[in-house]
A and B are shown apart, each in its own frame.
Chain A
Amino acid sequence: MLSFLLRRLLVLIPTYIGITLTAFIFIHIIPGDPILVMAGERGLPEEKYQELMQAFGFDQPLWKQYVDYVVQLVQGDFGKSFVTGRPVLDEFFELFPATVELSFFALFFAIIIGIPCGIIAAVKRGSVFDHSLMTISLTGFSMPIFWWALLLIIFFSGYLGWTPVSGRISVLYFFDTPTGFMLIDSWLSDEEGAFSSALSHLILPAIALGTIPMATFARQSRSAMLETLGEDYIKTARAKGLSSFRVVVVHGFRNALIPIVTVIGLSVGTLLGGAILTESIFSWPGIGKWMVDSIFRRDYAVVQGGLILIATMVIIVNLSVDILYGIIDPRIRKKGH
């Protein structure tokens, strides 16, 4: 297990250097001088320009700038926002809980609906339920997510008036946010109705974001279950006279788990990387919206630092999924030996 882990970590080193290099190059190939971009249309006097060049180290040779940059990164300095002047890392950790909260509920929604549907479709293969489920899931899979989000808003917020359109909580509530997770914080606060307000803000974005993963999980669970249900040990289990629920769930599902965990793991990485469309449409203050806003504001320091932070997180999630496999299925661990 340890050598498996070490091998995985070793491969990451060149990848990680590449990621820092990509983010470093990014700020140097954007058209226009970053300092002039930062100054905006007002422009700035020559001395001030030189001063800023020095402050950001843009007057140094490129390789030196890169080395300095990596040294800064290692010390946990991901740069400062051009716009707010605050450290990128601080902004990231402030917004990240919102993304985690949204991703968690989107994933929860996708799992509790997608996986059971996929299993039932596999068991009742060829039935009307199977066919309609596969059609619906392929439709969900093909859905332009921004359009779907707008439809949800028109129907649930506009027509029915059930849910608010944007943000994480109504502006009427003020309370401390010690955890950053709005549901927990509103629960802890004594404000009446704060929790239900937070929940109602969360529902639509979670559904919008969860739709594609749900469709993927349903398809994946169905095909994984079809494969395992054809195996001999399932026939044995049935022959033993076990209840069909027990056969399907205990004997079938457990063995179909690996491909299902794979797609869930991949989705976690994608979701935490920031749902840029969903967060933008619902004005959800997470890292996806943060990145889009920074790109539009030409706050390239944030884009640069954010890209590295997000890539780091995606890598950590994917690595954890790999390790998780090694635990679930010893065959994977041994393959590399």
Chain B
Amino acid sequence: MSVEINTTTATNQSAFVAVLASFWFEFKQNKGALYGLIFIAILAFVAIFADFIAPYSPIEQYRDVLKMPPVWVDGGSWQYVFGTDALGRDQLSRMIYGSRYSFYIGFIVIFFCLTVGVTLGLIAAFSKGLVDNIIMRLMDIILAFPSLLLALALVAIFGPSLENAMIAIAIVFIPHFVRLTRAQALSELGKDYVSSSKTMGASTFRLMFINVLPNCMAPIIVQATMSFSSAILDAAALGFLGMGAQPPTPEWGTMLADSRQYIQSDPWLMAIPGLAILFTVLSINLIGDGLRDALDPKMKKSKA
């Protein structure tokens, strides 16, 4: 008996490895996605080891070197590679610590979207009728408001902080996950494997999460990747409007907002955080495109 179980797990494992391998083969065909992945890997390394990499503290103010330009501009110095901001804080260290917030925002928002959004979507698909209608109409209500405006209004209610901004962003993103999951689950529900599980007495919970959900995952993963980058953009936008991370947090959007009054005199203060946001978001979107190509067989066919 135990031997039998071991062999099944072993075949399961090797099947899983084979799936991963073929996925990786497809994924690395897409050069853009590969570059994106490399950039994000480096950024993740920087974020994790920020304490060791950053030359200075991100909030320590060196009052004798205010608004020093970066090293490649006249008047720059290797002491502060990206220069210093209006309060004399080292830009490079702030950028390095700021990368942590991007991952933090992305992961927390996606966590909420996946747990709440996917569960609601599954419930809507399985229950049909009244519950389905209630859930979907609630989502329609959220979608009727422009997302950034709704997020801004929500932060006004909760009070401005990075955590509240993340919750607000998650709330405005959730409807997309609910709709997608519901549509995917509905298309799976009619299939034979679901009815056979049902006949064998599988509970609704088991049907939802163990039978149906894994078969809906591909588009959800792509959506999650794209939402990861949108979350970073929206959080930066809220930070820029003063409703996200509060000073002295070295969040990139907040840094942009701080540098806004110096755009004519010291443009690099806004250039560096903006570029960082752009490259991060672009890399994640490239990865998302690669994932879509690798996970979605329909796209593959149309490409061939």
Identify the A interface with B (CB < 8 A).
Answer: 11, 14-15, 18-19, 22, 26, 29-31, 135, 138-139, 141-147, 150-151, 153-154, 158, 226-227, 230, 270, 273-274, 276-277, 280, 288, 291-292, 295-296, 303, 307, 310-311, 314-315
Question: How many angstroms from the CA of A296 to the CA of B277 in the assembled complex?
Answer: 25
Bitwise interface map of B from 227 to 242 toward A, beta carbon under 8 Å scored 1, else 0 = 0010001001100111
In the complex, what's the smallest C-beta–C-beta distance from A318 to chain B, in angstroms? 8
Query: B289 interface residue, CB < 8 Å from A?
Result: yes
Which residues from chain B sit less than 8 Å from chain A, CB to CB?
A: 32, 133, 137-138, 140-141, 144-146, 148-150, 152-153, 156-157, 159, 229, 233, 236-237, 240-243, 253, 256, 260, 263-264, 267, 270, 273-274, 277-278, 281-282, 285-286, 289, 302
A223 to B100, CA, bound (A): 35
> Out of A139, A280, A295, which one reaches B282, CB within 8 Å?
A139
- B144 adjacent to A150 (CB under 8 Å): no
Of the candidates B141, B144, B277, the one whose C-beta lies within 8 Å of that of A147 is B277
Minimum distance in angstroms from B200 CB to a CB of chain A: 34
B286 neighbours in A (Cβ, 8 Å): 138
What residue of chain A has the Cβ atom nearest to residue B143's Cβ? A314
Cβ contact within 8 Å between B156 and A22: no
Q: Is the CB of A15 within 8 A of B149?
A: no
Structural contact, A19 and B144, CB atoms closer than 8 A: yes
Q: Are B137 and A14 in contact (CB under 8 A)?
A: yes
* Nearest CB on A from B62, distance (A): 26
Report whether B285 and A138 are in contact in the complex, using a CB–CB cutoff of 8 Å. yes
* Interface SS of chain B: helix
Give chain A residues whose Cβ lies under 8 Å from the Cβ of B32.
135, 138
9 closest Cβ pairs, A-B complex? A273-B146, A147-B274, A18-B141, A142-B282, A142-B281, A311-B144, A15-B140, A144-B277, A295-B156
CA distance A315 to B157 in the complex (A): 24
16 A-B pairs (CB sep. < 8 Å): A14-B137, A15-B141, A15-B144, A19-B141, A22-B141, A135-B32, A138-B289, A141-B285, A142-B281, A147-B270, A153-B263, A276-B241, A288-B149, A295-B156, A303-B153, A307-B153
* Complex-state Cα separation, A296 to B270, whole angstroms: 24
Partner of A15, one of B137, B240, B273: B137
- Bound Cα distance from A230 to B303, whole angstroms: 10
The residues of A that contact B133 with a CB separation of less than 8 Å are: 14
Asked if B149 and A273 make an inter-chain contact with CB atoms under 8 angstroms apart, the answer reads yes
Contact B144 A142 (CB under 8 A): no
Given known contacts A276-B152, A314-B146, what 10 new A-B pairs fall within 8 Å (CB)? A18-B140, A19-B144, A26-B153, A142-B233, A146-B236, A146-B240, A154-B267, A158-B263, A288-B149, A295-B153
Interfacial chain B residues near A19, Cβ < 8 Å? 141, 144-145
Name which residue of chain A comes closest to B152, CB basis: A295
Give the complex CA separation of A18 and B289 in angstroms: 35
Contact pick for A18, options B137, B152, B233, B281, CB 8 Å = B137
Cross-chain contact A144 with B263 (CB below 8 angstroms): no
Q: If the complex has contacts A142-B285, A276-B148, A277-B240, are A150 and B274 also in contact, measured as CB distance less than 8 A?
A: yes
A residues within 8 A CB of B302? 226-227, 230
Report how far A295 CA is from B274 CA in the complex, Å: 25
Q: Which residues of B contact A145 (CB under 8 A)?
A: 237
Cβ of B173 to closest chain A Cβ, rounded Å: 15
Q: In the docked arrangement, what's the CA distance between A11 and B256, Å? A: 42
Smallest CB-CB separation from B140: which chain A residue? A15
Inter-chain contacts of B282 with A (CB < 8 A): 138-139, 142
CB of A144 within 8 A of CB of B267, answer: no
Please pick, from B141, B153, B159, the residue contacting A31 in the complex, using a CB distance under 8 A. B159
CA A31 to CA B264, docked complex, whole Å = 38
Residues of B within 8 A of A296 (CB): 242
Q: Knowing A144-B278, A310-B149, A311-B144 touch, does A31 contact B157 (C-beta < 8 A)?
A: yes
Considering the chains assembled together, what is the distance between the CA atoms of A158 and B137 in angstroms? Answer: 48
- How near does chain B come to A301, taking the closest CB pair, in angstroms? 13
With both beta carbons as reference points, the residue of chain A lying nearest to B142 in the complex is identified as A22
A315 to chain B, nearest CB (A): 6
Asked whether, in the complex, the Cβ of B153 is within 8 Å of the Cβ of A144, the reply is no
Closest to B281 in A: A142
- Asked if B236 and A144 sit within 8 Å, CB to CB, the answer is yes
Contact of A30 among B146, B157, B285 (CB under 8 A): B157
Residue of A nearest to B253 (CB): A144
Q: How far is the CA of A310 from the CA of B263 in the complex (A)?
A: 32
Q: Which residue of A lies closest to B226 (CB)?
A: A141
Complex interface: chain B residues within 8 A of A18 (CB): 137-138, 140-141
Bound-complex Cα distance A11 to B233 (A): 32
- Cβ-defined contact, A276 with B285, below 8 A: no
- Chain B, residue nearest A153 (CB): B263
A30→B133 CA distance, assembly (Å): 29
- Interchain CA distance A138-B145 in the complex, whole Å: 26
Q: Is the CB of B285 within 8 A of A150?
A: no
A146 contacts B237, C-beta separation under 8 Å: yes
Q: Give Cα A19 to B256, complex, Å.
A: 34
Residue among A14, A146, A307 having the largest count of chain B Cβ atoms under 10 Å: A146
Contact B278 A147 (CB under 8 A): yes
- A292 and B145 within 8 A (CB): no
**How far, in Å, is B77 (CB) from chain A's closest CB?**
24
Distance of A150 Cα from B267 Cα, bound (Å): 10
Chain B contacts for A31, CB-based, 8 A: 157, 159
